[in-house]
Structures are given as structure tokens and as C-alpha cells.
Structure 1
């Protein structure tokens, strides 16, 4: 496998894991963190790039 494929897969997994974890939080928990539910995809993309 190429490094690019492995890196893409890792990024996708990080996105998916972050997205799912944030989506499981209640609205109250998200509010406490200062996160709007509509911002979760963007936050997950940022986490996957790190």
C-alpha cells in the first residue's frame, strides 16, 4: 500500500471517530463546550488534518 492511501485512510478514520463522538453528545454538553451541532463536520475535518 502506498503511504498516501494509508494517510488518507487514517484521516478518514479520525474524521469519522471525531464526528461520531461529538454527535453522541447532548445539546447541553455541546453548549458547554461552545460547539453548535452544525459545526461538527467542520470540527471533525480540522481534527483529521492534524
Structure 2
């Protein structure tokens, strides 16, 4: 059970870091990788 909680926390932190990194990019950089700014949260949490 504790292992499952630890995995969820690690996953949450990883998603949060990814969101922060993508949000720090300018619109041109996001466009180059095919990401719209408004879709960042959904893409990170759900995937394409």
C-alpha cells in the first residue's frame, strides 16, 4: 500500500515538472513539437 502511494506521489511530481517545463516554453517552441499551450495539462495527464 505504501509503495502504491509512493508511486502516485512520484507520478504527480513528474507530471508537475513536465507541465512547468512545457509552460516555460514560448509558443513557437511548443508549435515545433506539436503542442498547443491550452492542451498542456491534458496532454501530460492523459497523453495524446
- Give the shorter-chain TM-score range: 0.7 to 0.9
Mapped partners of 1:17, 1:46: distance in 2:
15
User: What RMSD over aligned residues (CA atoms) do the two structures have, in Å?
Assistant: 1.6
Residue matched to 1:45: 45
Inter-partner Cα distance in structure 2 for 1:46 and 1:11: 12
CA-to-aligned-CA distance 1:12-32 (integer Å, 9 cap, x gap): 011101100000000010111
Are residues 1:15 and 2:6 paired? no
Number of residue-to-residue matches in the alignment: 47
Structure 1 stretches of at least 4 aligned residues deviating more than 2 Å after TM superposition: none
Gaps of 5+ in 2: none
Query: Greater RCO between the two (CA within 8 Å, min separation 6)?
Result: 1
